[in-house]
Structure 1
Amino acid sequence: MPLSLSRVVGDDADVLADQDFRLLLLASLISPMGASVVSPVVETLAGPYGVPPAEVALLLSAFTAPGIVCIPLSGVLADRYGRKPVLAAGLALFGLAGVALTLTTDFRVALGLRLLQGVGYTGIGPILITATGDLFSGARESAAQGVRFTAVGASLTVFPLLSGVLVAVAWWFPFALYAAALPVAAAVWLLFDESADLGGGDDDASTDDDTSGVRALLSLATRPAVAATLVGRATPGFLWFAFLTYNSIVVVRLLGGTPGAAGALVAVASVTSAVATTQTGRITARFGRTAPTFASLVVGAVGLAGLALAPSVPAALLAGVPVGAGFSVALTLYRSAITGLASDDLRGGLVSLGESVGRVGSTGAPVAMGAVVTLLTDSLGYAGAVRGVSLAVAVGVVVVGGALLVVGDHGADDGREAGATASDD
C-alpha cells in the first residue's frame, strides 16, 4: 500500500485490496460526470441547439429531475434484487443515453436523453454508497467511503477540464466522454461478487412491514424539525447548481474567457470541495453542526456572489474556492444531520427522502434562474440579469437556509425522539 495513501486514510487503507471495492471506485469516477461534463459548455452549446444559454441550462435540470422520484425506487430495487444489477443497468443507461447526445442537435431530443441519463444515475450514486456499506463496517467503512469520495473528486477535477478543451474541437466531443460508463458497466456485471442475501421472504409479511414502515417514515418526516432539515438539504444543491449553470456563461460570455477556463473553474471548485469535506469531522467535534452548516452556506454564497461580480477570469477562478468549500461542507453536515434523526430501521428511508428533496434544489436552480434571467433581460440587459439573479440566489440561500437551520436545531431533540418512537409503532 502506498505510504501516502496510508497517511491520508490510516490503517484501513487496505480496503483497496478488495476487488469489489475497486470496481465501485471505477463506478465512482463515472457518477459525477452527469453535471460536470455539461456545466463548462452550456454557453457553447447554445449555437448547435439554436436556443439561448438559459434554455441550454435545462440540460442540467433534465438530468437531476428523475432523482426526485427514482432515487427511493432504486433503493427498493437494490434491496430486493441486489446491488449489481441495479448498478450495472444504471451505468449502461447513463452511458448509452450520454453517447446518444452526440447524434442530435434537436434540443427536445437532447432533453429527453438527459432525462434518461438522470434515470440511469439513480442506479449509480446512491447504490455506490450502499454497496460500500455492504462491503465494510466500522472504521473500515468510513475509510472506504473516504477513498471513494477521493475518486469522485478526481473525476470532478479531470472531466470538466476535458470537456472544456474538447468542445473547442467539436460541440459534440464532450458527450463522447460518457462512453467511459459502458466498459465500467460490463466490468461490474461480470466481476462484481454480490453474496448478500437480498429480497425474498414471505410476500404478505413483507407487504405489511412495508406499509408500516411507510407510515412510520411519513410520521417522522412531517415533524417540524425533521421537515425543516429535509427541506434545508435542498439549499446547498440549489447553490451548487446555480454555480454549475452560470459559470460558463459568466466566464465565456460576460468575461470573454474560453470553455477551457470555465472547465478550470469547475475543477477549482471541485478540488476545494474534496479537500474541505475531509475537515468536517474536526469542525463538528469542535463547533457542533448548526453553526458550521450556516457558516458553510455563507461561504458558498460569498463565492457565488464573487463569481457574479467577477471583473476578470482569474477573479472568477478564485470565486470557485469558497463555492466548492461551502457547498461540500454544508451538504456533508446536512446528510449527517438527517442520518442522526432516524432509528436504524427508518434511516435508509429518511436518507433516500433527503436525497430526493436535495434533487428538488438541484433541479429547481437552472429552471428558476433561467426564467427570472429571461424576465429581467429587457430591463437590465443579459449581463445585468445574470449577475443580479446570481446575487439574489446567494442572499436567498443564506436567509432561507439560516431560517430552516433555526427551526431544525430548535426541535432536533424532539425529532430524534420522534424517530425512535415511530420505529416502535
Structure 2
Amino acid sequence: MLSKSAFPLLLLNMFLANLSMGLVIPILPELLKEYEAGGQAAGYLVSCFGLTQFLFSPLAGNWSDRYGRKPMFIIGLFLFALSNLMAALAGDLTLLFVSRLISGMGSAALIPAIIAYVADITTDDQRSKAMSWLGASMTSGFIIGPGAGGLLAELGIKAPFYASALVGILAMICSLWMLPESLSLEVRQLRQQALEKKDNIFRQIALSVQSRYFILLLIVFALTFGLTHFEAIFPLFVVQSYGFTTREIAILLTICSLIGTFNQIVLTNRITQRFGEKRIVGAMLLLSAVSLVFLLFSGNFYYVMFVTMLFFTFGNILRPTINTLLSKEAGEEQGFVAGMNNAYTSLGTIFGPMLAGILYDIHIGLPYTFGAFVLLVSGFVAMRGLKRKSSSAAF
C-alpha cells in the first residue's frame, strides 16, 4: 500500500534531483564572465551532468535492487548537497565542472531508486496515479530551477547553490529518519547472492539499434538534443544579442515552462486522439525546428517569450506522445525500452549542449540554425519511417 508519510518525501527528492539541472541556467552568463569563459564552457557544464548520469544510472539501479532504495536516496541527496556546496565555493571553472559531474552522479543514484520505490509501495491500481504525481514533481523541478536560480542570484551569484545545498541536506536528514526501506531484508539478501550478469549500457544501446522501435529512440535523442541545445546557450544568446538581465531570463524561462506544461496537459490527449500519435510526432518536430529559427528574428522581450513558449509547448507535447508509442512498440520488453529511453535522453543531454557551446563560439546564431536543422531532418525521418511502419502493420 502507498505510504502517506513516504510519498511526499519521494516527491520532494524527485523535485530536488531535477531542480539542480535548471538552477545554473540563468546565472550562467555571469558565472562564465567571472571565470572568463565562453560558449564551449557553457555547453560542457550542461553536458557533464548528463555524462555522469548516463554512466552511473545502470550501476545505481543495480545497487538499488541489491542493497535497497533508501541507501541510494541518502547517497544521491548527499552528492546533490555536496555538488552544490562545491559550486558555491568554486574559485575556478575546474571545480565548477567537478561539481556538475558529482551532481549527475547524485541524480543517477536518486531518480531510478525513487521510481523503483514507488513501484514497491503501490498496488497496480495506485501506480498510474503515483507515477503521474512523480512526473509532475520532476517537471516542477525543471520549471522552478531556472526561476529560482535567477531570483536567488539577486542575493549573490552563488546564493542559488548555497540554498540548494541546504535543502539537499535537510531532505537527506528527513529521508534518513522518516523514510522506511521498501525492500525486505530477505529480498535484498537473495539479490546480493544472485550472480546474474547484465549487459552493460553500451551493449544495450547496440541491441536497441536492431530493434523495431529504434526510430522512436532516435526521436527521443533528437528531442533531448534540441531542447538541451536550446537551453545550454539561451542565457548567453539573449544577453549578448538582446541585453536581457538575469532576472528577465529567470522570469521568461519560468513563465514559458509553466505555459508549455499547461498546454501539454490541455492539448496532448485531444490532438493525439484526433490526428494520431505518429502524425503528432512528425508535426511537433517540424514546428520545433521552425520556432528555433524564429528566435533569431527579434530581441523584443515579449516576442522572445512567445517563441520560447511555443518551443516548450511543442517539446512538451512530443515527449509523452513518443513515450506512448514506445510503450505500444515495446510489448514484453517494457523494462528494456524504459532503460533505453533514459539512455537516449542522457545521450541527447551530453551531445546537445556540448555542440551548442562549440557552435556558439563560431557564430552566435549557429546553435539555433543547426538545432533547427537536426529537428527538421528528424521530423521528415519520423514522418517517413513511422508511415512505413503503419503501412507494414496493415498487411
Q: TM-score range by the shorter chain?
A: 0.7 to 0.9
| Aligned residue identity for 2:102 | L
For residue 233 of structure 1, give the secondary structure of its aligned residue in structure 2. Answer: helix
In 2, Cα distance between the equivalents of 1:217 and 1:232?
Answer: 17
Q: Tell me how far 1:145 sits from its aligned partner.
A: 2.2
1:398 aligns with 2:387: no
Question: 1:211-250 maps to which residues of 2 (within 5 A)?
Answer: 221-250=208-237
For residue 193 of structure 1, give the secondary structure of its aligned residue in structure 2. Answer: coil
Q: Tell me how far 1:412 sits from its aligned partner.
A: 7.5
Summarize the Cα distance change of 1:203–1:243 in structure 2 as closer, same or farther, 3 Å threshold: closer
More displaced 10-residue stretch of structure 1: 48-57 or 216-225: 216-225
In 1, Cα distance between the equivalents of 2:391 and 2:108?
Answer: 32
Match of 1:37 among 23, 34, 55: 23
1:111-160 Cα deviation digits (max 9, x unpaired): 11110111111122333333223332445322222223333343334332
Instruction: Determine if contact 2:217/2:341 at 8 Å carries over to the other structure.
Output: yes
In 2, Cα distance between the equivalents of 1:214 and 1:160?
Answer: 31
1:190 aligns with 2:177: yes
Instruction: Determine if contact 2:230/2:371 at 8 Å carries over to the other structure.
Output: no
Instruction: Determine if contact 2:293/2:372 at 8 Å carries over to the other structure.
Output: yes
Instruction: Determine if contact 2:212/2:329 at 8 Å carries over to the other structure.
Output: no
Summarize the Cα distance change of 1:336–1:39 in structure 2 as closer, same or farther, 3 Å threshold: same
In 2, Cα distance between the equivalents of 1:188 and 1:330?
Answer: 34
| Aligned residue identity for 1:56 | A
Instruction: Determine if contact 1:241/1:365 at 8 Å carries over to the other structure.
Output: yes
In 1, Cα distance between the equivalents of 2:13 and 2:28?
Answer: 25
Instruction: Determine if contact 1:271/1:324 at 8 Å carries over to the other structure.
Output: no
Q: Tell me how far 1:42 sits from its aligned partner.
A: 1.6
In 2, Cα distance between the equivalents of 1:312 and 1:202?
Answer: 58
Question: 1:277-356 maps to which residues of 2 (within 5 A)?
Answer: 277-278=264-265, 279-344=267-332, 346-356=333-343
In 2, Cα distance between the equivalents of 1:212 and 1:64?
Answer: 21
Aligned partner of 1:201 in structure 2 is: 190
In 2, Cα distance between the equivalents of 1:70 and 1:216?
Answer: 15
Q: Tell me how far 1:224 sits from its aligned partner.
A: 4.9
In 1, Cα distance between the equivalents of 2:135 and 2:201?
Answer: 31
Summarize the Cα distance change of 1:181–1:414 in structure 2 as closer, same or farther, 3 Å threshold: farther
Q: Tell me how far 1:218 sits from its aligned partner.
A: 6.9
In 2, Cα distance between the equivalents of 1:348 and 1:413?
Answer: 27
For residue 308 of structure 1, give the secondary structure of its aligned residue in structure 2. Answer: coil
1:165-190 Cα deviation digits (max 9, x unpaired): 33344221222232112211221222
Between the two proteins, the alignment pairs up a number of residues equal to 389
1:160 aligns with 2:149: no
| Aligned residue identity for 1:395 | F
Instruction: Determine if contact 1:273/1:328 at 8 Å carries over to the other structure.
Output: yes
Q: Alpha carbon RMSD of aligned pairs, Å?
A: 2.9
| Aligned residue identity for 2:190 | G
Summarize the Cα distance change of 1:116–1:411 in structure 2 as closer, same or farther, 3 Å threshold: same
TM superposition score normalised by structure 1 = 0.82
In 1, Cα distance between the equivalents of 2:96 and 2:200?
Answer: 38
- Between the aligned residues of both structures, percent identity stands at 20
Aligned partner of 1:381 in structure 2 is: none
In 1, Cα distance between the equivalents of 2:32 and 2:147?
Answer: 19
Instruction: Determine if contact 1:298/1:326 at 8 Å carries over to the other structure.
Output: no
Instruction: Determine if contact 1:23/1:188 at 8 Å carries over to the other structure.
Output: yes
Instruction: Determine if contact 1:225/1:408 at 8 Å carries over to the other structure.
Output: no
1:184-223 Cα deviation digits (max 9, x unpaired): 122122212233344443778x435x45999996786232
TM superposition score normalised by structure 2 = 0.88
For residue 22 of structure 1, give the secondary structure of its aligned residue in structure 2. Answer: helix
In 1, Cα distance between the equivalents of 2:256 and 2:125?
Answer: 28
Aligned partner of 1:251 in structure 2 is: 238
In 2, Cα distance between the equivalents of 1:154 and 1:217?
Answer: 30
In 2, Cα distance between the equivalents of 1:372 and 1:60?
Answer: 15
Gapped regions of structure 2 (runs ≥ 5):
none
1:115 aligns with 2:104: no
Aligned partner of 1:18 in structure 2 is: 4
In 2, Cα distance between the equivalents of 1:166 and 1:195?
Answer: 36
Aligned partner of 1:145 in structure 2 is: 131
Aligned partner of 1:407 in structure 2 is: 385
1:60 aligns with 2:46: yes
1:276-295 Cα deviation digits (max 9, x unpaired): 33243444333332111122
User: Quick one: higher RCO (CA 8 Å, sep 6+), 1 or 2?
Assistant: 2
Gapped regions of structure 1 (runs ≥ 5):
1-13, 377-384, 416-425
Q: Tell me how far 1:110 sits from its aligned partner.
A: 1.1
In 1, Cα distance between the equivalents of 2:291 and 2:179?
Answer: 41
Summarize the Cα distance change of 1:78–1:391 in structure 2 as closer, same or farther, 3 Å threshold: same
Instruction: Determine if contact 1:229/1:405 at 8 Å carries over to the other structure.
Output: no
1:82 aligns with 2:71: no
Match of 1:127 among 106, 109, 113: 113
